[in-house]
Chain A
Amino acid sequence: MTNDTTQAAGGPSPSRRSLIGWGGAGLALGAAAAGGAVAMTRTGSDADPAGAETGAAVAFHGAHQAGIATPVQDRLHFASFDVKTDDRAAFVQMLKDWTAAARRMTAGHAVGEGAYGGLAEAPPDDTGEALGLRPSRLTLTIGFGPSLFEKYGEKFGLTGQRPEALVDLPPFPGDNLEKTRSDGDLCVQACADDPQVAVHAIRNLARIGFGKVAIRWSQLGFGKTSSTTPDAQTPRNLMGFKDGTRNIAGTEPDRLKKFVWVGEGEGPAWMTGGSYLVARRIRMNIETWDRTSLQEQEDVFGRDKGEGAPVGKAQERDEPFLKAMKPDAHVRLAHPDSNDGVTLLRRGYSFTDGTDGLGRLEAGLFFLAYQRDVRKGFIPVQRSLARSDALNEYIQHVSSAVFAVPPGVLDKDDWWGRALFSKEA
């Protein structure tokens, strides 16, 4: 799978984009059809949520990885992988192959030589279920877990490269973590407006990865629970409350710089321009929540259910007066003002994995948060929440992972993790 990533659209594998309908796609058709080689550079304009309406492509190349500050899509397939090889060269080659495949898939192209038209005797390079679908703003974001540095530090020449900020999360009161769906040596976050596009991406990366990595656990998500585009309507979580009113927007470079992007000289050089991701599967006790009075529900959050206005205020975006909220209200405890100004960029999704065998909805929030330093971001906020949050009666954290998310892939010669792995390569 050492694909030529500069292959033009067309050829034996018609680009997904060239297959999409002539009606409706509108402006989205422009760039790649003309560009051929998939080498778009992201600019400020891609924070424009208008792309959601068109199923357009989000540029893969840029200083930061797409899928963090770029507009949140509707669907998620998140996968955590374990490394299965001691062979550094094989692992590095996989990262290059993954990058090449990601470059193609995010632009709406099939992987490798495509899903059909090849040798009849061999399985096609691409699995094919995304043929005919739009790029759907697919973003693929990679992260490296603490265990990669611990288990493979020596083998992969990463000794001394683990960032200090990539700490193992401490245990929090109330956690009930399942080991088999926590942690991981690396992760890929696939977000798209079409779930099939997101699943296709993870499936193909897993395939390319066999023998080098194996999926440890994965999570599907729907219905984003926070937005990086504050002009759009604030989404609601499965408890029915608006989530992410004060989230960091992709259009706020100052806040991104302050809270999300790792600055120069902060830890190892390979992380400059990157970020740290905390992923937590938070199970909700949906049935008991639904039996809870409206008053208590609103007290638990500290906002009203309809408008989302903070206690005592009229509008969702009115500045909250925290002291008007109950001391254990979720918003009060999570608010930056209660946490020395700490703000996380949240990108979580609702999940529903059917029912749990007791007839209860196996559902909740798959929490994803990006920050400049986990020690100053998630950990203090969660300490405070785990101790006192009224919401704890209705939720339980059942899986947890943390990853160092390297900076973006700059151009067609660059690849995921190059700065980390190419010291002597």
Chain B
Amino acid sequence: MRAVRLSVVTAAATAAALAAVTGCTEKSDAGSGDAIQVTAADSKCETSSKSVPAGQVTLNIENKGSKATEVEILFPDDRIVSEKENIGPGTKYTLTAEVKAGSYEIACRPGMKGLGVRQKLAVTGGTVAKRDPRLDKAVAAYREYAQEQADATIPKVETFANAIKAGDIEAAKQAYAPSRFGWESTEPIAESFGDIDPKTDTRVNDLEKGQKWTGWHALEKALWQDKKIGAEQKALADELVTDLKGWQKRVGTAEITPTSMANGAKELLDEVATGKVTGEEDRYSHTDLSDFKGNVEGAQKSYELLKPVAQQNDKTLTTELDKQFSALNTLLDKYRTDDPQEKAQNGFVSYDKVTKDQRKELSDAVNALAEPLSKLAAAVVK
């Protein structure tokens, strides 16, 4: 939410990227014996080799299917080492990457959707970094979740943007909160990219002098406070869609580690504690509780994925976290409504109807969860 925020995800990412692998794609004429032949089709992904020496690895890809495909080399946690999108039916492409020793997968994604068809690839030589495979699995599942959230967000943002472009204030208001939910649930990832968050989610007081105000909150003000849509807002709506599509594309490349997941969960609660519980975040629309729920849901997703390992290391902590997640969700459920106006805010009441005492109660519940949640990272790395 803050204009520029280097989260733990970023810090970890930078370090890991420097230390590990430099992925690079380029057209290459390499077609010699060392290259791996990848034959992609609508439901298969055949590779000519399951093991290669560390160093430069080349994939000679041929799409024999009827749909455009995407081929990726993936780390065990599903982070992308290197990829090529949009390989048309009947076409060939050569993908080259610098790969260190370790376990990888090659994925073909026919139609450029879903998890794709996977093949194992062992890269040998040098030293292999060991990590609990359960944690790799957790990271991979979290990346998948983040991608799903991003994928599901785009049509909702388009609905929002289209309403603005049609000059339909009411429809745009209804579409505002839902368009933010997926973003809010995975916010630390978006923030880790550094440049997207300031464009899409900056509040007016976060702006530097001379900085143009773009993104959701600029439109929120136009809809709820200024109550008018002009050419400028229509342009902002287009820009928001473009920026968020950029985010959608980059989710797969985010550096995610088990500790950044754990601390990301805590950061989501911090977002609630500093921005939502005060009503600062959606100060014009008062749709804060929808964002609140998104933050909590995303934090809970991270936690649930890490739980098998955390539980083994610190059962007391996971018992407490289960209890506090449940308590906070129960409390949030009290603010659900069937009111048609508020229905679109993911069914939560407008935050200006939440009294000071109720905000205190919500704040206490957030603290009760965030404090033990700050210990999750330690329980994961133990």
Contact = CB atoms under 8 A, between A and B. Distances in A.
A417 to B, nearest CB: 21
A84 B368 contact: yes
A82 B360 CA distance: 11
A207 interface: yes
Nearest to B375: A122
Interface residues of B, number: 20
A131 to B, nearest CB: 20
Interface in B240-266: 259, 262-263
Nearest to A206: B367
Contacts of A211: 320, 324, 367-369, 371-372
Contacts of A119: 377-378, 381
A82 B367 CA distance: 14
A25 interface: no
A123 B380 CA distance: 14
Contacts of A122: 374-375, 377-378
Contacts of B374: 122-123
Contacts of B170: none
Contacts of A180: 356-357
Contacts of B357: 180
B85 interface: no
Interface string A121-137: 11100000000000000
Contacts of A82: 364
Interface in A91-114: none
Interface in A164-208: 180, 207
Interface in A61-85: 82, 84
A209 to B, nearest CB: 9
Nearest to A85: B368
A263 to B, nearest CB: 38
A146 B312 CA distance: 41
A205 B177 CA distance: 37
A82 B377 CA distance: 29
B377 A121 contact: yes
Contacts of B368: 84, 210-212, 214
Nearest to B381: A121
Interface in B299-350: 320, 324
A207 B364 contact: no
B324 to A, nearest CB: 6
Interface centre among B367, B369, B377, B381 (most CB of A within 10 A): B367
A176 B252 CA distance: 59
A210 B371 CA distance: 7
Contacts of A123: 374-375
A119 B356 CA distance: 37
A339 B333 CA distance: 54
A188 B364 CA distance: 18
Contacts of B381: 119, 121
Contacts of B380: 121
Contacts of A214: 364, 367-368
A54 to B, nearest CB: 35
Given A84-B364, A211-B320, A121 B378 contact: yes
A1 to B, nearest CB: 10
Interface string A11-44: 0000000000000000000000000000000000
A291 B369 CA distance: 51
A82 B368 CA distance: 13
Contacts of B324: 211
A244 B144 CA distance: 68
Closest 8 CB pairs of A and B: A211-B368, A122-B378, A210-B371, A214-B364, A121-B377, A121-B259, A210-B367, A119-B378
11 contacts: A84-B368, A119-B381, A121-B263, A121-B377, A121-B378, A121-B381, A123-B374, A207-B371, A211-B369, A211-B372, A212-B368
Interface of A: 82, 84, 119, 121-123, 180, 207, 210-212, 214
